[in-house]
Amino acid sequence: MGSKAKKRVVLPTRPAPPTVEQILEDVRGAPAQDPVFTALGPEDPPDPSIPAEDPGAQWELLYQQSRAYVATNERLRWARDELQQKREALQLAGQELERDVCQVTRAALPGTPATSSG
């Protein structure tokens, strides 16, 4: 009894990672509206009237940013739950529509009973 020899799949070699110069060139060439620069940025720019040396003001700013993050997270959770409910309602409506179409199709065909069996 011989064992089957498994063929090893030879993957192509990975390309070399970009150099620092290539990365910097790519970043410099990207527009300011690029999602890389805007996706994680604060919704409102920091208040320029707050001096950088005032630690109390910095803590307050961080606190307000944290509150905004938590509020946004809650809104996203609520939206996710609402979308999930709407998706389920649409799926049920789609199933009902399919049953109705089948009934109408059967009624339109001669010699086919119009009632559905399931």
SS3 content of the chain, % helix, strand, coil (to 5): 60, 0, 40
pTM above 0.75, yes or no: no
- pLDDT tens column, 84-109: 999 999 999 999 999 999 999 888 88
CB 50 within 8 A of CB 57: yes
Nearest Cα neighbor of 41 from 68, 59, 21 is 68
- pLDDT tens column, 68-87: 999 999 999 999 999 999 99
